[in-house]
Amino acid sequence: MPAYDSKKIRDLRDHLQLSQAVFAAVLNTSLSTVRKWEIGDKHPSGPSLKLLSLLERKGLEVML
């Protein structure tokens, strides 16, 4: 499973052209969690890591 630092998470969200709120909804997590990931206060783990990896590899369509 690839590691996701704050820059990589932000870059992925920007690439998908999603707001933090929509990105959080897609990942089934809170807006505050996404914000903490993007400033480096928290790091994704478990299911969130798997979903981030899927989004990166397959795009947003995989979640719809």
What structural domains does the chain harbor? 6-59 (1.10.260.40)
Confidence (pLDDT) at 1:
64
In this prediction, residues 23-51 reach a mean pLDDT of 97
Backbone torsions φ then ψ of 53, nearest 5 degrees: -65, -45
Asked if the model's pLDDT at residue 37 lies above 90, the reply is yes
Distance CA 60, CA 57 (A): 9
pTM of the complete model: 0.91
Asked if the model's pLDDT at residue 26 lies above 70, the reply is yes
Q: Any residues with CB less than 8 A from the CB of 55 and at least 6 apart, and which? A: 12, 16, 26, 27, 62, 63
Tell me the CA end-to-end span of the chain in Å, nearest whole number: 22
Q: What is the largest CA-CA distance in the chain?
A: 29
Amino acid at 23: F
